[in-house]
Structures are given as C-alpha cells and as structure tokens.
Amino acid sequence: MNRRLSKLLQAARPTTEAAADSPLASDLAGLLTHEDADRARDRWKVTRARGAGRRSKALSMSWVLWLLVGPGVLVFLGENDAPSMLSYSATGARFGIGFFLPFVVITFAMGLVVQEMTVRLGAVTHRGHAELIFDRFGKFWGFFSLGDLVLGNFLTLVTEFIGIRAGLGFFGIRPGVAVGASLLVVFAAITTGRYWTWERITLGLAAFNALFVPAALFAHPNWHEVTHALLTWTPLPRGNSMDILILLLADIGATVTPWMIFFQQSAVVDKGMQPRDIRAGRVDTLLGALLATIFGIAAILATAPLFHHGIDASQFQAAQFAEALEPWIGRAGAALFALGIFEAGIVAAIAISTSSAYAFGEVLGTGHSLNRPLRDAWPFYSILLGSAAAAAALVLIPRAPLEFIVLIVNVVAVLAMPPALAFLMLLVNDRDVMGDNVNGLWANVAAITVTVLLIVAGVGFGVATVFPHWLKL
C-alpha cells in the first residue's frame, strides 16, 4: 500500500515533461490534495522506520515512537494550562502537599483512561470526534456537541490569555504587548501548512511546562515528606469545606475536559495514524500523562512554602503567586514560575483554538487539516485565528468582568462534560464503528468508573460554585 502511494505521489507530482503527460498523472491531478501528499509522506517515514527493525529492533521502535509521538503529549501538556497550573498552585499554597500529591496522580490516571479511548477511536475511524457524533447520532446532537465545545473553548481561551497577561506582567510587560505577541506566536505556529511542523513547534513550546520543576527545586522541598505523601494517603486537610471541595473538584477538572477528546482524536486523524499505531498512541498518551503529572506536582511543591509560612493565598492570581514566592524561592524561581504560567497559557491557546477549528471543519464539511495551506482551507484557519483573537481582545477590554468569565468557564465545563463522555463511551462500544477494537470488559469497567466519577465531580463543582451556601446546610 505504501509503495503504491509513493508511486501515486510521484505520478501526481511529475518531475519531467514526459511524466507530466502520463495518463496516471492527469487522472490523479484532481484527486490527490496537498493534504494527501503530506500525510502519505509522513506514513512512508513510519513504514521505513518499521522496516529498519530487521537491523535493530530497539532502534526501529524508538524511531517509530519519535515519528508517532505528539497528540498524547500535547493534549496533556495543553491541559496543564494556565487555570490548571494556578489550581495546583492554589492547592500547594493553601493546603500543602500531604493529601493532594497522590490525589493529583489519580486524576491523571483517570484522564489517561479517557484519552486512550480517544486514540483508538481516531486511529480506527480516521474521523474526528465531532464528525462521528454528527454522523452516528444525527444533526441535533452533532450541533449540540459543537455548540457546547465552541462556547466552552472560547471561554477557556479567555482564561488562557488572562494567564498569559498575568504571567508576563510579572516582568513589567504591558498587557497589550503580552497578548499581541502571543497572538503572533499562535499565528506563526498554525500557518506552516504542515501538521508535522505545527506539532513539533507546539511540542517545543510545551516542553517549557517543565519550568515548574526548577521552580519547585528552588523551594527546597523536604523529599522525605514528598515521598511519604506519595506513598501514603493522609486525611483531607482541615479548613473551610467550600474551599477544599472547590480545589478537589478543580484539580479533577484540570485533567479531563471536552476539548481534549475532540482535539486528540482530530490530531490523531490529521497525523494519519492507523490501527497498527494504537500501541504507539498509547505510549504517547501515557508519556503525556506522566509529564503532566510531574509538572502539576512541581507547581504544588513550588507554592507549598506559602502554606508553611502561613501566607493567605486565597485570592492570588498568576503574577501575585510569583511575587509572593520571590522571598522564599528567589527572583530566579519566581521568574521561572511566571514564565511557566505564560507557557501554559500559550500552548493551551494553540491547542484549544485548533480543537474548535477541527470541530467546525468536520461538522460543516470544509477543509480541516493543518496539512492544508492557508489559501486552500481559509475557513479552518479563520475560525482558529478568529477565536484566539476574539478571546485575546476580550481580555484587553478595560474593566471586563474577567473574574466572572473564569467562574462561568467552570459552569460551562460542567454542562459540556457529561455529553462528551457519554458520546465517547457509546462510540468506542459500537462494533460497527470500532470493529475488533471495541472496549473489552475491563476497559469498560475502568471507563464507566472514570466517567461516573468525572460527571459527579463536574456536577458537584458546578453546584458548589453556583450554590455555595448549600455546603453550610
């Protein structure tokens, strides 16, 4: 099949006048798109890497994994966005590390269960999540899921630019300059005309989520205490029950959100992954979950000194966290923390806006691939850039109700989570869709358990946010 594709590509893009006049070239000229050609080249690289296994299996598998890694790492590091990292920071600053370190590990394990199903669904069907919902469940549910996703994504994008603005504000950079420069980075990343290039640029930016690790080291954590916290499960900390519940549910919500499902499935399709790549996709997703767990824990450790010194961090935002940490972790540690918040916001802005554009393109039947040049898929890129630009503009409006927007994001996420998880479960158990790759018994047990817990946590978070007085009854 790959040899045939290679021959077709050569025929479709002849290098001589004689080849240009060939019947095969003229037949394929209107069939093979720029997207097809780029994706075929990427698949040919994977096939050649697998073929190298005759010489060195370990080297071959490492090269195949390098070629296929991307969507899983990006989706989890993208979910380690500015609000999520601030949630972890608030956890460490207000309650220390005892209960919450193993709790964060479990939340990422839950996210791994959900995203593994997403990988299989994309690799088997070669179709995005929005497109599958539209086709399998009808127009009503298709547009319902699209509306849920786009509204939630837009409001979340606003919070990302709030994080970008606050993170760079630590260095005295004006909001307009910070937001404008970030938009230019988003524009540069998505207009390469190649999924592979976009993915590698975004992965390079996502690597800076690791800035929270040296920031944590500057806090000089007690490693014996950290090990004890991870190996034992200490009771919930004492304090305001509302504050504890909000942080518990917010930390759960920091690991799985609807955009992750839509984004990773579409990215798997855009990357051209096949059923035989599912194992590599699982490794990619596991790697992303492990890295995100480490960096999330690092954010908790970095802000734990505020808890130990009795500093009230209940109303802190990104720049305030960095400023408050400076006496305890130094200027360098505080600067790394602020840069980490900035990075978390900009990577999530790229991934979330791409998620919205993918879903729009899938449902409306227009070009929806990062392998397409700007001129061939301008509706796709217009939605991507337009959503990011609109969110950035809202952040710059004087006296805009940013705190209210952050609150509404959580409520919208509650409304969007149940249908997204329900559709995912129905699709991965549909043999007509998945064939032999449907969920097995234990996969369903794990998935149903996680789905129920996430729905209960999401609804609980929404109720606690809208009706906080109920906790006092």
Chain segment 76-117, per-residue pLDDT in tens: 998 888 888 888 888 888 887 888 888 889 889 988 999 999
**Are residues 107 and 254 located together in one domain of the fold?**
yes
| Six token digits for residue 243 | 């504050």
Q: Which of 17-21, 165-169, 232-236, 255-259 has the lowest mean pLDDT?
A: 17-21
**Are residues 296 and 443 located together in one domain of the fold?**
yes
**Are residues 36 and 81 located together in one domain of the fold?**
no
Q: What is the structure's pLDDT at 19?
A: 41
Among candidate residues 65, 91, 121, the one where a domain is terminated = 65
**Are residues 29 and 119 located together in one domain of the fold?**
no
Measured at the CA of 432, the angle between CA 430 and CA 433, to 5 degrees, comes to 70
- Of the pLDDT bands very low, low, confident and very high (cuts 50, 70, 90), residue 16 is very low
Tell me what percent of the residues of the chain surpass a pLDDT of 70. Answer: 77
CATH number of the domain residue 399 falls in? 1.10.4160.10
> Has residue 134 got a pLDDT over 60?
yes
Give CA–CA dist 142/129, Å, rounded. Answer: 10
| Six token digits for residue 408 | 């509404």
Q: What is the structure's pLDDT at 293?
A: 93
- Of the pLDDT bands very low, low, confident and very high (cuts 50, 70, 90), residue 52 is low
Let me know: does 159 contact 453? Beta carbons within 8 Å.
no
- Of the pLDDT bands very low, low, confident and very high (cuts 50, 70, 90), residue 264 is very high
**Are residues 21 and 73 located together in one domain of the fold?**
no
Give CA–CA dist 125/417, Å, rounded. Answer: 22
Q: What is the structure's pLDDT at 446?
A: 87
- Of the pLDDT bands very low, low, confident and very high (cuts 50, 70, 90), residue 55 is low
Let me know: does 195 contact 370? Beta carbons within 8 Å.
yes
- Of the pLDDT bands very low, low, confident and very high (cuts 50, 70, 90), residue 465 is low
**Are residues 119 and 53 located together in one domain of the fold?**
no
> Has residue 274 got a pLDDT over 80?
yes
Instruction: Tell which wins on pLDDT, 425 or 402.
Output: 425
**Are residues 204 and 328 located together in one domain of the fold?**
yes
* DSSP 8-state secondary structure symbol assigned to residue 237: P
> Has residue 1 got a pLDDT over 50?
no
> Has residue 230 got a pLDDT over 80?
yes
Give CA–CA dist 203/343, Å, rounded. Answer: 11
Q: What is the structure's pLDDT at 8?
A: 43
b or e along 291-329 (b: 16 or more beta carbons within 10 Å of the residue's beta carbon)?
A: bbbbbbbbbbbbbbbbbeeebebeebbbbebbebbbebb
Number of domains in the chain: 2
Instruction: Tell which wins on pLDDT, 245 or 220.
Output: 220
> Has residue 137 got a pLDDT over 70?
yes
Q: What is the structure's pLDDT at 59?
A: 65
Q: What is the structure's pLDDT at 318?
A: 56
Among candidate residues 65, 80, 101, the one where a domain is terminated = 65
Q: What is the mean pLDDT of residues 118-141?
A: 89
Q: What is the structure's pLDDT at 304?
A: 85
Q: What is the mean pLDDT of residues 41-55?
A: 67
Q: What is the structure's pLDDT at 231?
A: 85
**Are residues 345 and 288 located together in one domain of the fold?**
yes
Instruction: Tell which wins on pLDDT, 30 or 140.
Output: 140
CA dist list (Å): 461 to 55, 152, 251, 458: 54, 16, 10, 5
Q: What is the structure's pLDDT at 469?
A: 66
> Has residue 29 got a pLDDT over 60?
no
**Are residues 27 and 152 located together in one domain of the fold?**
no
Give CA–CA dist 461/256, Å, rounded. Answer: 14
Q: What is the structure's pLDDT at 100?
A: 84
Among candidate residues 65, 88, 107, the one where a domain is terminated = 65
Highest mean pLDDT among 43-57, 263-277, 414-428: 263-277
Q: What is the structure's pLDDT at 117?
A: 93
> Has residue 255 got a pLDDT over 90?
no
> Has residue 229 got a pLDDT over 80?
yes
CA gyration radius, the chain: 23
**Are residues 50 and 84 located together in one domain of the fold?**
no
Q: What is the mean pLDDT of residues 415-438?
A: 85
Q: What is the mean pLDDT of the chain?
A: 79
**Are residues 350 and 227 located together in one domain of the fold?**
yes
Give CA–CA dist 373/453, Å, rounded. Answer: 42
The three state secondary structure string of 297-339 is: HHHHHHHHHHHHCCCCCCCCCHHHHHHHHHHHHHHHHHHHHHH
Highest mean pLDDT among 184-193, 318-327, 328-337, 360-369: 328-337
**Are residues 7 and 85 located together in one domain of the fold?**
no
Tell me what percent of the residues of the chain surpass a pLDDT of 90. Answer: 12
Q: What's the burial of 93, exposed, middle or buried (CB within 10 Å: 0-12/13-18/19+)?
A: buried
Highest mean pLDDT among 172-176, 223-227, 286-290, 408-412: 286-290
Q: What is the structure's pLDDT at 7?
A: 47
Q: Which residues form the domain of 12?
A: 1-65
Q: What is the structure's pLDDT at 312?
A: 61
Whether this prediction's pTM lies above 0.85 is answered by no
